[in-house]
């Protein structure tokens, strides 16, 4: 990835746009100008983002927090996979009418953010495909609009943080939600709720952790055809970059090695839930692991990268398996530093987890605080974010 200077002038956050089927249909990238002594250039920002999302790489919704930067962006020719969120007060300003119309005519998707305090110019209203209504500004109650009121623009619900909020948003008629529905409370039930296929993955993780012979690992794999199929598909995928096809379990296990096999099993465990509501949680967990790995990449320690990856992927396992970490980590072996971060909010990996949460919440204050704690420049953090999202896109 190119070293774009603009990455030192902004702070980046990201969150998914989730449809009624709980599928992620776009990534929202929030951009904050981070320095008062430098004005980010819209063209340079777009070039940095396009490295991660080329034209054929799915949709990205640009949430620019900064009127000057957004004004410049609206004057720029954008790839068609880039959607733009326009605050209602800017949409109502006739100074932006021509730019909004031009983007619409080129085929870019525009979203109006918030409720207009004054009527929009007549020629602007048809340019917006969706409106974004945050939960804090939600007035709908699921009933039809009152007489004389027309709701012609489908709405996307913002600020969604729990599964309950997501369901209620769809019940009110939202076509999608923005946010991370991962903050539901976990209570101890005193019993495991893992599905049988999850238990098989946990057993294999334990055997890999003990570095049992390949024959024993192969025996577990053969008893779970679904897991075996997924391993073969993964290792023969273009992302793995092999020049020959792997046709046996033994060859696949030997080629991966214990550390990479454990990494793959962590991803498999995080994505094995059959609950459709877990799709956004799985999406978050995979990106957490990749982002934490990227945040430590420059330290040049493969063992460190492997452990923080596991820490990130497992950081939402309590939601997926509906068990508190204190119970969960008694059955799943993890390094002590990973256990401390997940169960005790402590240890050397915990600051990286806090950084990921700050980026997910798109809080510039929390991102700065976490970067200061980790002695990282904002440009380093942003490069890690974009590398992780690019790697996640390839996994998808």
For the chain, 396 residues long, give each residue's pLDDT as a single digit of tens: 567 899 999 999 999 999 999 999 999 999 999 877 778 999 999 999 999 999 888 899 999 998 999 999 999 999 999 999 999 999 999 999 999 999 999 999 999 999 888 888 899 999 999 999 999 888 766 555 444 334 578 999 999 999 999 999 999 999 999 999 998 876 655 444 445 467 778 788 888 888 888 888 888 877 777 777 778 777 777 766 677 777 777 888 888 888 888 888 888 877 777 788 888 998 999 899 999 999 999 887 888 988 999 999 999 988 888 888 988 888 888 889 999 999 999 999 999 999 999 999 999 999 999 999 999 999 999 999 999 999 888 776
Q: Is residue 187 part of a domain?
A: no
Q: Is residue 297 part of a domain?
A: yes
Q: Is residue 211 part of a domain?
A: yes
Residues 137, 104 within the same domain: yes
In angstroms, the CA 292 to CA 351 distance is 10
In angstroms, the CA 310 to CA 262 distance is 9
Residues 141, 42 within the same domain: yes
Q: Is residue 174 part of a domain?
A: yes
Residues 168, 205 within the same domain: no
Residues 165, 220 within the same domain: no
Residues 174, 208 within the same domain: no
Q: Is residue 114 part of a domain?
A: yes
Kindly tell me the number of DSSP H helices and DSSP E strands found in the chain: 17, 8
What is the structure's pLDDT at 190? 47
Query: Which residue, among 184, 143, 182, 175, has the nearest Cα to 156 in the 3D structure?
Result: 175
In angstroms, the CA 185 to CA 261 distance is 31
Q: Which of 116, 148, 179 is the last residue of a domain?
A: 179
Q: Is residue 190 part of a domain?
A: no
* CATH code, 39: 3.20.20.450
Q: Is residue 189 part of a domain?
A: no
Residues 128, 229 within the same domain: no
Residues 158, 229 within the same domain: no
Q: What is the total count of domains within the chain?
A: 2
Instruction: State the DSSP code for 210.
Output: T
* CATH code, 367: 1.10.3210.10
Residues 257, 381 within the same domain: yes
What is the structure's pLDDT at 226? 75
Residues 143, 267 within the same domain: no
How many CA atoms within 13 Å lie on the side-chain side of 355?
A: 34
What is the structure's pLDDT at 337? 95
Residues 149, 37 within the same domain: yes
Residues 294, 387 within the same domain: yes
Q: Is residue 369 part of a domain?
A: yes
Q: Quote the strand ranges of the chain, DSSP E.
A: 10-19, 24-33, 59-64, 82-87, 110-113, 128-134, 155-160, 176-179
In angstroms, the CA 31 to CA 84 distance is 12
Q: Which domain holds residue 27?
A: 5-179
Q: Which of 153, 179, 205 is the last residue of a domain?
A: 179
Q: Which of 179, 205, 236 is the last residue of a domain?
A: 179
Residues 152, 228 within the same domain: no
What is the structure's pLDDT at 239? 63
In angstroms, the CA 7 to CA 378 distance is 7
What is the structure's pLDDT at 196? 47
In angstroms, the CA 301 to CA 311 distance is 15
């Amino acid at each position: 990835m190119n070293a774009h200077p603009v990455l030192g002038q902004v702070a980046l956050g990201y969150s998914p746009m989730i449809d009624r089927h709980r599928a992620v249909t776009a990534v929202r990238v929030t951009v904050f100008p981070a320095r008062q002594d430098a004005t980010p250039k819209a063209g340079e920002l777009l070039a940095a983002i396009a490295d991660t999302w080329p034209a054929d790489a799915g949709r990205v919704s640009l949430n620019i927090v900064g009127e000057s930067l957004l004004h410049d962006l609206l004057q720029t020719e954008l790839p068609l996979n880039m959607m733009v969120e326009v605050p209602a007060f800017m949409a109502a300003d006739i100074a932006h009418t021509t730019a909004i119309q031009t983007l619409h005519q080129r085929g870019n998707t525009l979203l109006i953010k918030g409720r207009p305090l004054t009527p929009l110019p007549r020629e602007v209203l048809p340019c917006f495909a969706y409106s974004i209504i945050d939960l804090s500004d939600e007035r709908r109650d699921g009933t039809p609009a009152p007489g004389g009121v027309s709701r012609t623009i489908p709405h996307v619900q913002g600020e969604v943080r729990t599964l309950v909020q997501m369901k209620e948003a769809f019940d009110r008629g939202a076509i999608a939600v923005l946010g991370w529905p991962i903050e539901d409370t976990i209570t101890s039930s005193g019993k495991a709720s893992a599905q049988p296929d999850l238990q098989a993955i946990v057993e294999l993780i334990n055997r890999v952790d003990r570095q049992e012979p390949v024959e024993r690992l192969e025996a577990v794999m053969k008893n779970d055809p679904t897991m075996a199929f997924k391993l073969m598909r993964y290792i023969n995928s273009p992302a793995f970059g092999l020049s020959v096809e792997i046709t046996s379990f033994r060859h696949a296990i030997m080629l991966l090695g214990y550390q990479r096999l454990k990494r793959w099993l962590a991803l498999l465990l995080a994505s094995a839930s059959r609950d459709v509501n877990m799709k956004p949680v799985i999406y978050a967990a995979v990106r957490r692991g990749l982002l934490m790995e990227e945040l430590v990449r420059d330290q040049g320690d493969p063992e460190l990268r492997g452990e923080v990856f596991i820490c990130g992927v497992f950081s939402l396992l309590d939601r997926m398996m509906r068990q508190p970490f204190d119970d969960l980590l008694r059955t799943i072996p993890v390094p002590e530093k990973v256990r401390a971060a997940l169960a005790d909010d402590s240890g050397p990996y915990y600051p990286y987890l806090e950084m990921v949460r700050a980026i997910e919440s798109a809080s510039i204050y929390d991102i700065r605080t976490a970067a200061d704690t980790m002695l990282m420049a904002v440009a380093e953090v942003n490069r890690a974010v974009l590398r992780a999202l690019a790697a996640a896109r390839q996994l998808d």
